[in-house]
Amino acid sequence: MKMNMSYIRNWKSYLLEAISIIAVGVAFSVSAPSIALSKDKVHFQWSWLPTGFYCPISGGIAKGFYTDVDIDLSVSTGRGSGDAVKKVAGGGSPIGDGDISAVMSARARENAPVKCLMHIHDHSPHSLFVLKSSGIKGFKDLKGKTLATTAGNSHRNYFPIAARMAGLDPDTVKWTVVDSTTMPAMLVNKRVDGVPYFTSNISFIKPQVEARGDELVVIPFADYGFDIYSYCIYTRDDVIEKEPDMLRRFVAATQRSWLWASHNPEEACRAHTKQWPDTKFKDNLAGWIDLRGNMFGKDLSRAWTGKFDMKRVQKTYDVLVKSRDLDPNFDVKQVIFDSLLPK
């Protein structure tokens, strides 16, 4: 009996097709879980060194708050707010943090495509660090002195306003621009008379000063009535347009991280110290506790959401206009996009 060769050929093709289907099915059944568990890889550009300021983020990562919303978060340190804004605006990262003054300046002056998603500080943490041996006790003692800062640093932007509030002519103070990693040494070695830092950096600088037999003196800008928005988390216009769901999940996890860390400072700072082993737990904890005060004051039960008050945003920009020659008619709504925050 002769077999129909076309039938054999068809049978073989059907068999091969069936095997292919089975193979695809097996492959899919194996890979399906990984597809279901796939997460958005998101990079977060920090604007500064890994001080206690970032304990909430490291804590949130360790607690799984970001993976809970399908985000695989990576971070990198920075060299100041101005530098971080440039990296995000240029496409180097979808999300960054830094002082709102850097975001406002970049948008108003260069039309940089950046907008704030949420604020961190309710009270300004801007301050000036000096040595006790310098004899400087307040702003009026800065006449003829030299201060060091990083390029685009928010303190440099706001200093003229705070100085005038304190009765000091800001033009009598000299500034030198340095890298963020050299600022502590500039102060400790008395190469400059002072360096501006957030108060959350006290624990980072204080041990270095004391190791040289001196004492650290902190002069908060807020002591002279300077109280505006400061740190914010921001993104680019195209990310808002193309990835709103990712941003919504990111701000929700970030809000959750900051609120959790406010009530669990030690656990958050242990996680941060583990992630950044070159830092010290006690320094990170002290820095975060201080920063927590800039967010909540003394009342940790107060509802902090990260949502902006537009009147205060305008006030912040008005202060900036006076110090940075910006367009006074700029619409501040162009730099705020906080509608993705949880209700």
Q: What is the largest CA-CA distance in the chain?
A: 113
Judge if 322 and 240 occupy the same domain.
yes
* 106 found inside a domain: yes
Per DSSP, the three-state class of 282 is helix
User: CB of 106 within 8 A of CB of 131?
Assistant: no
Residue 91 lies in a domain: yes
Q: What is the pLDDT of residues 279-319, one digit of tens each?
A: 999 989 988 988 887 776 666 656 678 999 999 999 999 98
94 with 185, same domain: the answer is no
Last residue of a domain, one of 205, 224, 243: 224
The domain of 240 spans 40-123+229-276+296-335
Kindly report, residue by residue over 249-277, the tens digit of the pLDDT.
Answer: 999 999 999 999 999 999 999 999 999 99
Q: Residue 162 falls within a domain, yes or no?
A: yes
For 139, counting Cβ atoms within 10 Å of its Cβ (0-12 exposed, 13-18 middle, 19+ buried), the class is: buried
For the chain, the domain total comes to 2
147 part of a folded domain = yes
* Residue 21: per-residue pLDDT: 33
* 250 in the same domain as 118: yes
Report the CATH number that the domain containing residue 64 is assigned in CATH: 3.40.190.10
Same domain, 118 and 249: yes
Q: What is the pLDDT of residues 48-80, one digit of tens each?
A: 989 899 999 999 999 999 999 999 999 999 988
59 shares its domain with 143: no
Do 245 and 176 belong together in one domain? no
**Cβ neighbourhood burial of 292 (10 Å; 0-12, 13-18, 19+):** buried
Quick one: 101 and 249 in the same domain? Answer: yes
> What pTM was estimated for this model as a whole?
0.76
Q: Is residue 27 part of a domain?
A: no
Q: Please indicate, yes or no, whether residues 130 and 160 belong to a single structural domain of this protein.
A: yes
Q: Is the dihedral of CA 64, 67, 71, 75 positive or negative?
A: positive
Residue 116 sits in the same domain as residue 263: yes
Is residue 233 located within the same domain as residue 318? Answer: yes
Does residue 192 sit in the same domain as residue 253? no
The pLDDT tens digits for 217-226 are: 999 998 898 8
